[in-house]
Structure 1
Amino acid sequence: MDKKSLCLVEKLKLVTEKALEKKALHPILTTYQILKQDHIPFLIRIVENLERKDNEKKKQKKSQTSFNPFLPYDRDLFVDNISDSHVAILNKFNVFDHHLLIVTREFEEQESALNLADFSALWTVLSEINGLGFYNSGKLSGASQPHKHLQLVPYPLAQEIETIPINDLVLSYRNTQEIITLKEFPFLHSIVFFDSQQSSQVLSQITLKYYHQLLAQLNINIEENKPSQNYNLLITKDWMMIIPRTQEKYQSISINSLGFAGAFLVKNSEQLNLIKESNLLKILAKVGVKIVDN
């Protein structure tokens, strides 16, 4: 069948299959555990072997100090042209199946503010693939590449979790029409809900408006197209949340947007034990901005 006639989900599956055959895609093998805390079924994935990814990164640094894997991107990882400004490619080192990167065609800095073209590309993908969209705005938020890219992981993240770990909790507040914070979260954040019945084009414009409102609510200013603080952004078909960041790691554990969705990645048994001995919401507060109780 001609790839052009396939829908995005079909293209994603086809490209994944071929990329695995060509060894262009290098999935990070993990096992996982569900750790229920504070009524949230946190998903803890344990890496079996990070050596291949680490070796690849070392090679990239050695061969080219300013290496950019997105310019040009690996054609074997290319999934689709999303718009005039963005393409969708596979995440080369994926933990979750069919993990997509939504990348700007021309170089833009990862720390630059998101714009209408970014949200239009994301909603184009979300309209076809039900999943979690997210953005790591800079190094403190877990961004590993300087070239602007949003990301999407399709549901489910694990067999036992229908969507993402925090989704049921967030949706329990859905009846409100204003910007809200959840009393359950001990870190600074803001959430707003969408009417997902609207078109992708309308949702893109609404999302851009909400994005600036949430940043303002969190006292994150945009100067010369750069937010004054790194943050994580989570977006589903139903809601969007922004979380300001103050540090990249909790001890040795790196945390990006997926951590605030309730999904942690640990590299070894020591990190797993640390996770099990800790309150996960308090870990998130330590890398975000802790809300001080009055």
Structure 2
Amino acid sequence: MEHPSLQPGTLWPAILRRTGHALRRGALRPIETTQTLIEECGISFLVRQVSSLARKKAARHAPEADAGARRAVNPFLPYDPDLFVADISDTHVALLNKFNVIDHHLLIVTRSFRSQETLLDLADFAALIACMAEFDGLGFYNGGVDAGASQPHKHLQIVPLPLGESGPPLPIESVLAAARMEGPIGTIPVLAFRHAFAHLEWAPAASRHAAHAALDCYHALLEAAGLRPIEVNGELHHPAPYNLLVTPRWMLLVPRSSECVEGISVNALGFAGSLFVRDAAQLQIIRNLGPMTVLQRVALPAVRER
């Protein structure tokens, strides 16, 4: 069955319309937060803390049992029509993130079930690039539960920039100019954990070419980070969890060792310089450890140079 494809200039207006509609219908449930900046290693880390009012409201309306029930049900098959934003392609749709911390947080979801453990493919990158051509945003992928994925159904994500009310639009970019490149792949000196970085450039008008270039770059990053694909039931899977960050200018991949540090969950946005905590006690843990140590503890040790 053929589906309409995303038309240039239509996505951002559709996001705004659907956000208003979903809020009125109660389908969209934003998580209210307060924001704190913590400077370390030349990065202004943005830490969002759930507001006290939001915690009280959650305690009244969302018992703990609800969280387990949400994880057991696939929210994407079928998806909530009130959260539907646009058809992207024959393979992907765009949905609003129901429990969003950042306004206009978009999910790029496969129409049929694909595992979040499978490698990203050309259709995934084509859908991501089609959406990212429409507004200034950060694309990311949480590859597996230990990388912060909350749903097993394959989905990429985009958040608009700037990430916060203050500080730089994308905190991690303050250290990217210092990248040490060995050919097309490099590393960032201040990131004291295993990762792989690449410069990227695509023209929205050449989205097909851009998707191929992004896919090739992704494969090169996986190889450089030591994540060689494995075959599972005839599909290529990543052998370990990882996070991927994508902009039109660069791509960063970070293999993961665990999902959280002292109860603080970290997903791909952590490596963009944006962390999320439930309360003041968790914020203090980040202050005490330092944001970079938090990231280091959920990542893998850096590969030593020979």
| 2:224 aligned with 1:209 | no
TM-score by length of 1: 0.92
Q: What corresponds to 1:7 in structure 2?
A: 10
CA contact (8 A) 1:130 1:237 kept: no
Moved more, 169-178 or 132-141: 169-178
Size of the alignment, in residue pairs?
A: 290
**Which of 263, 269, 277 is the aligned partner of 1:258?**
269
Cα deviation code 1:199-236 (max 9, x no counterpart):
22111101111111111111111111111111000001
Q: What corresponds to 1:244 in structure 2?
A: 255
Q: What corresponds to 1:20 in structure 2?
A: 23
**Gaps in structure 2 of 5+ consecutive residues:** 1-6
Change (3 A) 1:5 1:201: closer
CA contact (8 A) 1:15 1:77 kept: yes
Root mean square deviation of aligned Cα: 2.2
Q: Secondary structure of the equivalent of 1:70?
A: coil
CA contact (8 A) 1:174 1:193 kept: no
Distance (whole Å) between structure 1 residues aligned to residue 15 and residue 242 of structure 2? 28
1:158-173 map, 5 Å: 158-173=164-179
**Gaps in structure 1 of 5+ consecutive residues:** none
1:1-294 map, 5 Å: 7-48=10-51, 49-50=54-55, 52=58, 55=62, 58-59=65-66, 61-62=68-69, 66-173=72-179, 178-197=184-203, 199-224=206-231, 225-291=236-302
Distance (whole Å) between structure 2 residues aligned to residue 173 and residue 222 of structure 1? 26
Distance (whole Å) between structure 2 residues aligned to residue 57 and residue 124 of structure 1? 37
Percent identical: 41
Q: Secondary structure of the equivalent of 2:169?
A: coil
Cα deviation code 1:138-157 (max 9, x no counterpart):
01100000000000000011
Q: What is the CA-CA distance between 1:176 and the residue it aligns to?
A: 7.9
Distance (whole Å) between structure 1 residues aligned to residue 240 and residue 9 of structure 2? 40
Q: What is the CA-CA distance between 1:168 and the residue it aligns to?
A: 2.6
Change (3 A) 1:174 1:73: farther
Change (3 A) 1:196 1:174: farther
Q: Which one-letter code corresponds to 1:138 in the other structure?
A: G
Change (3 A) 1:114 1:5: closer
Distance (whole Å) between structure 2 residues aligned to residue 103 and residue 94 of structure 1? 16
CA contact (8 A) 1:91 1:99 kept: yes
